[in-house]
Amino acid sequence: MKIFTAEQIHRWDQFTISNEPVSSIQLMERASEALAGWISENCKNHRKFAVFCGNGNNGGDGFAVARILYLKGFDVDVFIKDSKSKFSEDGTVNFKRLRDFSGISVKEFKDIDQNNFDHKTIIIDALFGTGLSRNIEGEYKEAIEKLNERSNIKISIDIPSGLFADTVSQKDSAIFKADYTLSFQTWKKAFLHPETGSYAGKVIILDIELSEGYVFNTETEDFVIDDVTIENIFKPRSEFSHKGTYGKVTIAAGSYGKTGAAVLSTRSALKTGAGLTFTLAPKCGYEILQTSCPEAMFIEKGEKYITSFETEKDSFAGIGPGLGTHTETQKAFLKFLKGYSEPLVLDADALNIIAQNEENLKLIPKKSIITPHPKEFERLFGKSENSFTRLELAKNKAKEFRIYIVLKDHHTQVVTPEGKIFYNITGNSGLAKGGSGDILTGIITSLAAQQYSEEHAVILGVWLHGKAADFAAEKYSRESMLPTDVINELGNVFKLLGK
């Protein structure tokens, strides 16, 4: 799914109006029907709504939603700035339609304090849409701050008011804090970054049938990894195949006290379908690995830490989980990189070793995949002001070194050497545990060994990782799920893909 900027979304609306053809007010009605339909279906236990409307088309959506909800049998109050408010052309049409219903009360922002919304009243934010380009001030800011203090369920239409669609807002900005955001047709970048996404709550994308032709012909570098993306990438297992068909994996991982990382990475590589899996690890991990991962073959390199990196011939290697940064490991790893030219998956301590000298970055083979969490990324490339600037830095570095960067976050970002960004929307906070990254390394390495391109391996890999985590959370809760639970759910994800 393509992600468009606020300006591109505005042009998308206009293109639809011109080419469907459909009038602007008809398109607003279509959007409002979709909004009210979702709200009425999912908020059946709440009979009262307080809809806060601005002067633009977002407010026009709010007026229409209020009218439709009232016709569906809900109690609705509408709030506007004051009686002198002037609305957009379409907003004015829907405000007049609203006034035809005496059962809908129209109040002003100054009346908020006199309205003690009970716990079953839902607050709907229709103040500002994606066109906002400045901080909210005056009565609107005051209203948002008062509403944020309320414990009622809050729903934003299109985007939480005060939030910019394409970039981070200023620290002192007034931003509506939604529990749900009902947006149209595609994700906005603001929903996908930690500094801004927390205001959106759970994001629901509603299809209002904007022009497909516009999507096809409009270029963007930003994408969401959705089900269609995965269906186009996933290759079902052939009946006429053998273990050699699905490649060889070498996982170079582990050190004394950190053999668990090697186990997690190895097991996830196996569960993702690699034909043959080898684990290169120190001798101290032999019994643990052979007992916990009997399907994998053990390659001994060192006593308590790895002192040599000689990967299995024709295998795709994933290096780093639990590796440690012992002096001999560092020397051996950097020596290996100097003589190796095939793509690799590099994670954890492999990245920490590289980060010790900026010149080491040049040793990463072209088309390799690195999977840093934010702190590891900072060690490699320096500090960033926020996740938006970090992503821009990642784009520059991916292009410079011709590598794929997997920026691990709540919505992990895959950055390609060509500058494309793919946001992953599977996964949950249950992955915020040690070992989760080790699993991702094994998954991506396994897919790359199975002849998926590097781009497809990382896109499918982060999606699989997150989807398995969602299944694990459903079974065990986000608090109690373990990385091993995520590995065990990979089979269920593949079953889903095979349907």
Tokens for 246?
């699905």
Same domain, 179 and 263: no
Last residue of a domain, one of 190, 220, 250: 220
Same domain, 355 and 237: yes
The pLDDT-based confidence of 242 (bands split at 50, 70, 90) is: confident
In the predicted model, is pLDDT for residue 170 greater than 90? no
In the predicted model, is pLDDT for residue 313 greater than 90? no
Residue at 77 is within a domain: yes
Q: What is the pLDDT of residues 283-312, one digit of tens each?
A: 999 999 999 999 999 999 999 999 999 888
* pLDDT value, residue 269: 98
Same domain, 239 and 171: no
In the predicted model, is pLDDT for residue 221 greater than 80? yes
Residue at 343 is within a domain: yes
* pLDDT value, residue 176: 97
Same domain, 281 and 338: yes
* pLDDT value, residue 77: 96
In the predicted model, is pLDDT for residue 126 greater than 80? yes
The pLDDT-based confidence of 172 (bands split at 50, 70, 90) is: confident
The pLDDT-based confidence of 59 (bands split at 50, 70, 90) is: very high
pTM of the model: 0.95
Residue at 108 is within a domain: yes
Query: CATH number, domain at 215?
Result: 3.40.50.10260
Last residue of a domain, one of 220, 250, 268: 220
* pLDDT value, residue 215: 96
Same domain, 372 and 246: yes
Distance, CA of 57 to CA of 314 (rounded, Å): 59
* pLDDT value, residue 481: 98
Name 414's bridge partners: 406, 422
Query: CATH number, domain at 321?
Result: 3.40.1190.20
Same domain, 183 and 263: no
Last residue of a domain, one of 188, 220, 252: 220
Residue at 137 is within a domain: yes
What is the mean predicted confidence (pLDDT) over 359-372? 98
> Domain range spanning residue 481?
230-497
Same domain, 85 and 153: yes
Residue at 115 is within a domain: yes
Residue at 225 is within a domain: no
Same domain, 202 and 311: no
Residue at 356 is within a domain: yes
Same domain, 183 and 234: no
Average pLDDT in the chain: 96
In the predicted model, is pLDDT for residue 132 greater than 90? no
Same domain, 346 and 487: yes
Same domain, 161 and 179: yes
* pLDDT value, residue 238: 87
What is the mean predicted confidence (pLDDT) over 143-156? 96
In the predicted model, is pLDDT for residue 499 greater than 80? no
The pLDDT-based confidence of 81 (bands split at 50, 70, 90) is: very high
Same domain, 21 and 80: yes
Looking at the structure of the chain, the number of domains it has is 2
Residue at 1 is within a domain: no
What is the mean predicted confidence (pLDDT) over 70-85? 94
The pLDDT-based confidence of 468 (bands split at 50, 70, 90) is: very high
